[in-house]
Amino acid sequence: MLSCLLGLRQPKLDDETRAFFRDAQPWGFILFREACVSREQVRALCADLRATVGHDATVWIDQEGGRVARLKAPEWPVWPAAGKFGEIYAKNKEAGLEAAYLGYRLIADELRDIGIDGDFAPVLDVPVEGSDKIVGDRAFSADPKEVALLARAALEGMHDGGVAGCIKHMPGHGRATADSHLALPKVAAKEIDLANDVFPFAQMADAEAAMTAHIVFEAWDPDRPATCSPFVIEEIIRKRIGFQGMLMSDDLDMHALQYALNGGLTERAEAALGAGCDVVLQCSGKLSEMQITAKGCRELTGLPLVRARAVEAFAKRQPREFDAAAAWAKFKLLLADFAPA
User: What is the CATH number that goes with domain 2-318?
Assistant: 3.20.20.300
Active-site entry in 62, 221, 250, 253: 250
Residues of the chain with pLDDT under 50: none
Q: Is 65 exposed, middle or buried (0-12, 13-18, 19+ CB in 10 A)?
A: buried
> Is 181 an annotated catalytic residue?
yes
- Asked if residues 86 and 153 have their Cβ atoms less than 8 Å apart, the reply is no
pLDDT of residue 338: 79
| Alpha-carbon torsion angle 14, 17, 23, 25, nearest 10 | -110
**pTM of the predicted structure, to 2 decimals:** 0.95
Active-site entry in 181, 193, 223, 337: 181
> Is 255 an annotated catalytic residue?
no
- Asked if residues 59 and 28 have their Cβ atoms less than 8 Å apart, the reply is yes
CB atoms within 10 A of CB 15: 7
CA distances from 288 to 16, 57, 257 (A): 10, 22, 19
pLDDT of residue 120: 97
pLDDT of residue 337: 82
SS3 category, 338: coil
> DSSP secondary-structure letter at 190?
-
- Asked if residues 83 and 137 have their Cβ atoms less than 8 Å apart, the reply is yes
| Residue extents of the structural domains in the chain | 2-318
